[in-house]
Amino acid sequence: MDRAKKRVGVLTTMVLVLVLALVGMGVAWGVLGRRAEAETRGLEAKLENGYKQNYYQLVYNVGNLSAYLNKLTVASSPTLQMQLLGQISVESASAGAALSALTSVDDDARKTTKYINQVGDYCLRLQYALADGGQLGEAERDNILSLYTVIQEMERGLDKVKEQVDEGNFDFLGAEENNVFAQTVASFEAETVAYPALIYDGPFSDALEQAEPKGLIGEPITRQEAEEKVALYLPTSYTLSYEGELSGKIAAYRFSANTEHGRYYLDVTKVGGHLLTLIADSTPTDTIYTAEECSAYGLQYLEHIGVADMTPVWASNYNSVYYINYAHTEGDVICYSDLIVLKVSAETKTLVGVEARNYLMNHRAREMATPTVTEPEARAAITQNLSVDGVRLALIPTDGGGERLTYEIAGTTSDNRYFVYVDAATGKECKILRVIDSAQGQLLQ
Amino acid sequence: MNRKSVTIALCAMWLLMVAVVAFAPAGESADAAALKQGSTGSLVRTVQTKLKNWGYYTGTVDGVYGAKTVAAVQYFQRKNGLTADGIVGSATAAKLGISLSSSGASGYSSSDEYLLARCVYAEARGEPYTGQVAVAAVILNRVRSSSFPNTISGVIYQSGAFTCVSDGQINLTPNETAKKAVRDAMSGWDPTGGCLYYYNPATATSKWIWSREVHLTIGSHSFCV
């Protein structure tokens, strides 16, 4: 009897403990679960707020762009025009950042992004032109009007989303596919939107995309002939494999070559059989040869492959590899657009890389203008605080793919080294480069 | 902060590094990462200040690496068990507590270069070397394109752009190969011939990407415009 009682007692205790444990676990579960839920909600809210912040930023910037472009269509004084153009480029940069935070690569907002970037870039160039004493002509005014028409459409599109966002009926995070924002962006991408094609001197000019290679002289060659060309380009023994074709503006045959120095990849152009690119995964560990020795070796190599009249213009050492830039020289003028970069191992003085795309895109026989400004005039046009160590004529590329004949004046102040460029036709200072020290050697900024 | 001006500066930077890199008289000293006799500038000033504060240098802090600076550097190197060659290379710089990259001139080139190397390592470490240069080149092509964000960080962190960003692999430490590949791409090498996209045909799930025109294949990646 006692034993039975005892057993019941033990059983009751066990059940009680179990129940208590279960209740405890349940409570803990509930508390922790709610905490986790709260955390998730907090994170979601943060993300959603980030989207909304960018969305309102975009609406604000697009509204301002619209207002400034509109005012620009009626502004007549260069001073006010310049102010508006400057404000437009600032608004465009901010709008671009907000848009890229709201869209993904897959959303394909490329046309919208391009338009917003171009508005800023184009207006910045117009501002430069006005600052240089220019005026807004008929063509520029037409472009501004087309840009304004497009921005109005975007403004209207964003307004549709705004109604829903304002009323709290739209979550970017919870939005299904083809939501109102995605639809709006898609409508900006439609064929019917009349984006103007802008040809001007800036990095986002349509002219750059349309540029064709000028230095690709010669006849189309076969893969067999390209293989034979490799013997000229690779001054060592090798076993060759064909790796396929490279299409695009400069089409090429690609080969890989196993050599005693490792594996090389070469692109030989289908037209003319020029060497486009050579890449080797080299791992030199020591700097034995000087920059001068390696750049002289590189010059010999360029002559060997049939590229004449090149001058080494810059070299930097990175991980015991010299990156040496050679520019074409026409008479006494350095043509910086016609550039070939060679990589030479500082340990073995052997070639480990060639990049000739810029040369093949730009090199041609040029009608070189005669400078109307003299060297002393050019020197007088720049700061007298620079102690000058060299002056020479240089044809420099402009942002939009053009070229400009300049005097290149190299000099130092007490702290820095600079290259100052003076337009050889107008005598105006037009560009300054500063030499900066970095872990990657000296770079220009 | 006017982002565009940064953007333009960056664009100018690419243009320089890619199309022009630099305009210096031929025969210019090239081993620039190290400081040695004849070097000038703010970094030399920093070295002189440090050596002076620690009692190694007695000359004036003038930013010119002269014979006195050489002697002071050698003295410092001997005291610190370094080769006493009088040149501030990476080892001596580390002992001095300076970074040869911190010229105070511009931080963005190094930090962007490192971010790019992280992305290349995370995206393409199993690929052949030329395939790693190609991935770096695609990112730089996007920076230059008007249809994408205008900075390296903008392109890399754009939503949906790179899987390594969403799965966190971008935070891995890049190896030397990835860094070299980035240096090549920043110096103008572009094995893709101007491509803006790449995908792995074996794993790509986006239907859209298949509609792009493929320019070439390197390793397991197809590159397209």
Top-confidence range, A60-69, A284-293, B107-116? A60-69
B215 in any annotated domain: yes
DSSP per-residue codes, B133-176 = HHHHHHHHHHHHSTTS-SSHHHHHTSBTS-HHHHSSGGGSPP-H
Q: For chain B, give me the number of helices (H) and strands (E)?
A: 9, 3
B11 in any annotated domain: no
Q: What is the pTM of this model?
A: 0.77
pLDDT at residue A278 in the model: 96
pLDDT at residue B119 in the model: 96
In total, how many domains does chain A have?
Answer: 3
Residue with tokens 């101007």: B194
pLDDT band, residue A103 (cuts 50/70/90): confident
- A342 plus A418 within the same structural domain: no
- A168 plus A57 within the same structural domain: yes
Q: Is B63 in a helix, a strand, or coil?
A: coil
B3 in any annotated domain: no
List the single residue in B with minimal CA-CA distance to A354.
B189
Closest approach of chain A CAs to the CA of B224, in angstroms?
A: 10
A295 in any annotated domain: yes
Domain end marker among A308, A335, A362: A362
**Residue among B130, B122, B189, B191 nearest B161 (CA):** B122
**Residue among A253, A231, A62 nearest A159 (CA):** A62
Q: Which residues on B lie below 8 Å from A92 (Cβ)? A: 4
Domain end marker among B72, B96, B120: B96
- B128 plus B149 within the same structural domain: yes
- A382 plus A270 within the same structural domain: no
Residue with tokens 């707020």: A49
**pLDDT tens track for B190-207:** 999 999 999 998 887 777
B113 touches chain A (CB under 8 A): yes
Closest approach of chain B CAs to the CA of A91, in angstroms?
A: 9
- A366 vs A348: CA distance, rounded Å: 37
* Domain boundaries, position A404: 375-444
Q: Hey, are the CB atoms on B13 and A445 less than 8 Å from each other?
A: yes
- Residue A433 one-letter amino acid: L
B81 in any annotated domain: yes
- B214 plus B129 within the same structural domain: yes
Contacts of A53 (CB under 8 A, 6+ apart): none
CB atoms within 10 A of CB B94: 12
- A405 plus A315 within the same structural domain: no
Q: Identify any residues that bridge with A421 across adjacent strands, giving them in sequence order.
A: A408, A431
- B113 plus B89 within the same structural domain: no
List the single residue in B with minimal CA-CA distance to A420.
B23
Domain end marker among B96, B117, B136: B96
B152 in any annotated domain: yes
pLDDT band, residue B134 (cuts 50/70/90): very high
Question: Which residues between 95 and 134 in chain A have a beta carbon less than 8 angstroms from any beta carbon of chain B?
Answer: 96-97, 100-101, 103-108, 110-111, 113-114, 117-118, 120-121, 124
**Residue in A120, A203, A313 nearest the CB of B23:** A313
**Residue in B20, B30, B213 nearest the CB of A315:** B30
Closest approach of chain B CAs to the CA of A79, in angstroms?
A: 20
In total, how many domains does chain B have?
Answer: 2
Domain end marker among A160, A176, A210: A210
pLDDT band, residue B99 (cuts 50/70/90): low
pLDDT at residue A15 in the model: 86
- A429 vs A426: CA distance, rounded Å: 9
**Residue in A105, A249, A399 nearest the CB of B193:** A249
pLDDT at residue B126 in the model: 92
Q: Which residues on A lie below 8 Å from B87 (Cβ)? A: none
> How high is the ipTM of this complex?
0.84
- B115 plus B208 within the same structural domain: yes
- B88 plus B148 within the same structural domain: no
What CATH number did the domain enclosing B85 receive?
A: 1.10.101.10
- A283 plus A382 within the same structural domain: no
**pLDDT tens track for A176-210:** 776 788 888 888 888 888 888 888 888 888 888 88
pLDDT at residue A440 in the model: 59
User: Across chain B, what does the average pLDDT equal?
Assistant: 77
- A137 plus A190 within the same structural domain: yes
**pLDDT tens track for A111-148:** 899 999 999 999 999 999 999 899 999 999 999 999 99
Strands B197-199, B221-224: parallel, antiparallel or unpaired by DSSP? antiparallel
Closest approach of chain A CAs to the CA of B54, in angstroms?
A: 23
pLDDT at residue B98 in the model: 67
B25 touches chain A (CB under 8 A): yes
* Domain boundaries, position B187: 108-224
Q: Which residues on A lie below 8 Å from B206 (Cβ)? A: 106
A25 in any annotated domain: no
**Residue in A93, A114, A279 nearest the CB of B129:** A279
**Residue in A267, A317, A337 nearest the CB of B33:** A317
